[in-house]
A and B are shown apart, each in its own frame.
Chain A
């Protein structure tokens, strides 16, 4: 049975959790926030979210259960980090390792054509 870093075969409940976690706008927004700055406290993540602290806590729990978010304690602060592994594995599953180079080149090409490149 094919296994991934989540320690599960590809159609195990662990994978369902990832897709369910991603199927909410608020949770995708939290992932965006963590991508912009990984290692944030609950208080930092609540800023500008327009949600109660309880709601943010609930969403973070769903993300953590799906391993999309990892938490580590630094002193008395619980810091939240974006874990790229589950999304990377989804990409690997359907995009495949041989298609990476051309796909990576597309945004670069787009930037060049639109004249937004830096160099």
Chain B
């Protein structure tokens, strides 16, 4: 088991296809993930990053494993606060599974470092991002707090 980890499960009334697109496509992420977008060729080994609306890199890494509409594993390093960047790479897993008429999304963010400050910080952000994602897919509206850039630009 990794030394630091955050796990969170949500159930969303949507389809695996739509949830998958919502996790990676800019027109979705911009609305529920603090106005950020992701860049990647979305193949195993391809570089990956999250960008703020002003173009700065928030996090970077690479695609470790990708199985569209089912599983995405990313190598993920924070790039804004130096003390968090210094912790190195974390590992993020998204797993999608149809369960009856809802889709289950399991999110695991982990790092092989005891008491990781980055995982602690990420643990504070994921619940609102994921609630907003659920809201966007089920009602067409994301949560207002997550639709703006934290950099204010």
Contacts and interface: CB of A to CB of B under 8 A. Distances in A.
A83 B8 contact: yes
A50 interface: no
Contacts of B145: none
Contact of A5 (B2, B7, B108, B131): B131
A91 interface: no
A110 B103 CA distance: 42
Contact of A67 (B11, B12, B108): B11
A51 interface: no
Given A5-B134, A72-B93, A72-B95, A39 B5 contact: yes
Contacts of B2: 39
Interface string B1-33: 110010111111100000000000000000000
Contacts of A39: 1-2, 5, 110
Which label, helix, strand, loop or mixed, suits the secondary structure of the A interface? loop
B106 interface: yes
Nearest to B131: A5
A87 B58 CA distance: 31
5 contacts: A5-B9, A5-B11, A7-B102, A39-B2, A79-B1
Interface residues of A, number: 18
Contact of A6 (B1, B7, B8, B11): B11
Interface string A38-64: 111000000000000000000000000
A70 B7 contact: yes
A38 B12 contact: no
Contacts of B12: 7
Nearest to B104: A67
Contacts of B9: 5, 67, 70, 83, 85
Nearest to A79: B1
A7 B13 contact: yes
Given A7-B102, A39-B2, 5 more contacts: A5-B130, A8-B11, A38-B1, A67-B104, A70-B7
